[in-house]
Structure 1
Amino acid sequence: MLETGDSARDLVGFVLPETGGLVETADPARPYVLLDADGAVVAPVEAFLAELQACSRPATTIRSYGMDLLRWWRFLSGWGVAWDRATRVEARDFARWMRMAPKPTRVHWRRRSSDGGHPPPVSRPSAAVPNPVTGRAAPGRLYSASTQAHCETVLRSFYTFHLEEGTGPILNPFPTTRERRRRPIAAGRSTRQSAGGRYRPSVPRRLPRRIPDSRFNELFAALRYNRDRALLAFWVSNGARASELLTSRQRDPLPGEQLLGVVRKGTGEFQQLPSSPDSFVWLRLYQEEAWRAGAPRGADKPLWWTLRRPFRPLTYHAARAMLNRANALLGANWTLHDLRHTAAYRMARDPQLALTDVQWVLGHAHLTTTQIYVPAGQDEVVEAVRAHHERQSHQAQMPAVPAAGYRTESLNTLFGRNQ
């Protein structure tokens, strides 16, 4: 098959086969493995994931890369193409398919079992309709541009790795973009620029979405348990990532110093974050209830537990389910990461708090990442523009004041205002 040839594949009607899978293991040297249709470990992917681990990538990143590789493996399996026989025709068709293919619907295991293992397809809302509470568009039927871009980056890196190792095809199916000549920056000199992968889509820049104070109060009031209130109070005050807060142990809260220790996601280092006083109040209320109910107690024990027996350490998915229950009451679609954005925005907009201090609290490697929280949020901009229009309307209704030296009675007579 020529790389420049036209593909005759029916990409519109193609259905991604549900073969293979990405499996989590108990082996710290292999946190995730990719299995093929026969249940065997895919060795090329295993070598690539080992390279990621050697480059200090966390397990969450390895899982994210593995899911993209699983999608690619299933695509090739559907067309009967081996991974090392893939050309730019397959890569181009894959990029085209991701732009038009609906995302697979995943059904909860309880619904699957209640429907005899064959539940009806789940319809996804249109991404063009924003949520009336949050203003965020719901996940649509198609893959988002960010998902497509991430997948292209992963696959290009995967084939680059095997090209350097000499274990893959001699040409990367996912090439870099064609170089474009820029204007000369000096006499006799010119530069070239590359914008990444050729099949990488343009990703719109999105501003971090925070929760306005009034909406946060509604969200907080929709929570039913002191544990959930303590979690939200910490997330919105210290800016920790959702997964980072769940790493705290019972020895880590220091109410007297208003510090809570967490393990950072990227570096894996332990860091004490300053938190609001009310978060420790809710934490103490939750601990008293949990200990009376029989939750494990000890300095080395996890700080956050499930509310029902058998008690288990609280996971990220359980915390997200807690937030989704509150969202269902409000008709909203807030996310756990919105709480981190809210905390970052509140700190960055405080003129008495240095931006470098905010960078340290958030754990950002670069100050430019922290600076995205400095501009006003969308709701503030909307309110400011509304106030501007109101001032303009009020000013237009005010009577004109005559200049000095002119009598008001004379001007009224001249312009017929007395008639």
Structure 2
Amino acid sequence: MTTVADLSGFRTQRLTLGAGERTWTVLGRDHRVVGPAEEYLEYLRVQKVSPNTVKSYARGLALWWQYLDAFGLVWDGVTLEDFGAFLTWLRTGEDPQVAALVPGKARFGESTITVRLRAVLSCYEFHRLNGVDVGRDLHRLVHGGGGRYKPMLEHIARRKGRRQTVIRVRQQHAAAPPVLTPRQIDRICDACAVWDPAVGEWRGSVRDRLLWALLAETGLRLGEALGLQHRDWHTGRGDTPFIEVVPREHPHRVRAKGGCYRKLYISDELDRFYGEYLWQLCDVGADLAVANLDDWYVFVNLDREPRFAPWKPDSVYDLVDRLRHQLAGQVPDGWTPHWFRHSHATALLLSGVPMHVVSRRLGHADVQTTMNTYAHVTEDAELRAVADWTKLTAGWRAATDAAQIGPC
């Protein structure tokens, strides 16, 4: 099964493989797969790279082959000058030999251009390492000198010099990730379900409220939350409750990014709320409809068919759209599920939790990713104003995470 993503020139195309896996490739004007691009994309698939990464790289390679086709270039006969002209073409869409009298609107932002160029350079590096005579002038050997920083044991590991990319794109400083305040999180949760003391039960969708409470307290990605199964939720029995993030296949292709297992301790309050949700699931017959509830998904369809099927990300975003409309003026208009993750990380850092602990809790493969994303969290008074997270951070046992979470 295939779906065309872009009908102009060389293009990306979505493929659904026999096992139901979704991936992307690059097609030419003749509707055939572009061989060199597909070889590299297949290498990424074998390496279990995220389908979204494959899609992004396929888009970059489709643009590159559009550029080669537009200017009559051969993929394995390009020069360093051609790569520089590619950057101009990405920015303007014009012939690099033509100087426009009035600068036009940029086609892509610099961050997008960086991603597209990285895909092309990585593809050429792949083919160079496989013996194809391409890309030799895209890098240069750099031997340390002067006062420049050199990694530890550089003198041993880099006797022949380091390979450094010649072509670079200046990256703009990323804006601070958006966050939700505790009050805004409460409003989103309350819009889904509230406790009615008069009758002693919850009114509304406990499932919806559980999702937002879980994202806020754990910093899970939406795909990780939707991939949770009941066996991953370890209810407290006199000890600290926790959940496990386990990489596994999902019917809707959500996944644990990076393919890494991790263990996250949660509060007793969140654990009790999960118990309420589980009781409601059994009350409506989920335990009878599903062969084994223990290895079934926590978040499932309740109001539409097929009932008790795993909840789709698209359905969650439908819920987000409804909540945005319902809470207009009370919460930021453009909030998304990922904002809960940024809010969680910001809360931990403002509470003084060490950076490496936050990195582990978020599931980052490298603490540098955490540092780059949340470098803005400083002594800024405005950020301190959102640091009232006592009720959310109580019971997180971040210090315990440091000792219990295994390396990614």
In the superposition, the TM-score normalised over structure 2's length comes to 0.65
Letter in 2 for 1:42: V
Q: Which residue of 1 aligns with 2:220?
A: 240
SS in 2 for 1:34: strand
Q: 1:261 aligns with which of 244, 252, 266?
A: 244
* 1:171, distance to aligned residue in structure 2 (A): 5.1
Say what the alpha-carbon RMSD is for the aligned residues.
4.1
Q: 1:165 aligns with which of 119, 127, 130?
A: 130
Relative distance call for 1:367 and 1:237 in structure 2 (3 A) is same
Tell me whether 1:94 sits opposite 2:93 in the alignment. no
Cα distance between partner residues in 2 of 1:16 and 1:49? 20
Letter in 2 for 1:258: P
* 1:220, distance to aligned residue in structure 2 (A): 2.9
Relative distance call for 1:21 and 1:64 in structure 2 (3 A) is closer
Relative distance call for 1:269 and 1:99 in structure 2 (3 A) is same
Relative distance call for 1:193 and 1:222 in structure 2 (3 A) is farther
Contact 1:262 1:272 (8 Å CA) reproduced: yes
Relative distance call for 1:313 and 1:24 in structure 2 (3 A) is farther
Residues 293-313 of structure 1: per-residue CA shift (max 9 Å, x gap): 555532122222234112432
Q: Which residue of 2 aligns with 1:332?
A: 333
Q: 1:323 aligns with which of 304, 320, 325?
A: 320
Q: Which residue of 1 aligns with 2:101?
A: none
Q: 1:272 aligns with which of 256, 263, 273?
A: 263
Relative distance call for 1:29 and 1:381 in structure 2 (3 A) is closer
Larger Rg: 1
Q: Which residue of 1 aligns with 2:154?
A: none
Show the 5 A alignment for 1:275-294.
275-291=266-282
SS in 1 for 2:259: coil
Cα distance between partner residues in 2 of 1:193 and 1:165? 19
Cα distance between partner residues in 2 of 1:29 and 1:310? 19
SS in 1 for 2:231: coil
Show the 5 A alignment for 1:94-243.
94-100=86-92, 142-167=107-132, 169=134, 175=138, 196=165, 198-223=167-192, 225-243=205-223
Residues 18-68 of structure 1: per-residue CA shift (max 9 Å, x gap): 654332333579852414144433332222123224445333332332232
Give the strand-richer structure, 1 or 2: 2
Unaligned runs of 5+ in 2: 1-5, 94-104, 150-160, 193-203, 248-255, 387-408
* 1:95, distance to aligned residue in structure 2 (A): 1.9
Contact 2:245 2:262 (8 Å CA) reproduced: yes
SS in 1 for 2:227: coil
Letter in 2 for 1:348: L
Contact 2:258 2:365 (8 Å CA) reproduced: no
Relative distance call for 1:222 and 1:357 in structure 2 (3 A) is same
Aligned length: 327
Relative distance call for 1:167 and 1:195 in structure 2 (3 A) is closer
Q: 1:375 aligns with which of 357, 377, 382?
A: 377
Contact 1:20 1:38 (8 Å CA) reproduced: no
Unaligned runs of 5+ in 1: 1-14, 102-139, 187-191, 385-419
Tell me whether 1:25 sits opposite 2:16 in the alignment. yes
> Sequence identity, in percent?
22
Relative distance call for 1:35 and 1:57 in structure 2 (3 A) is closer
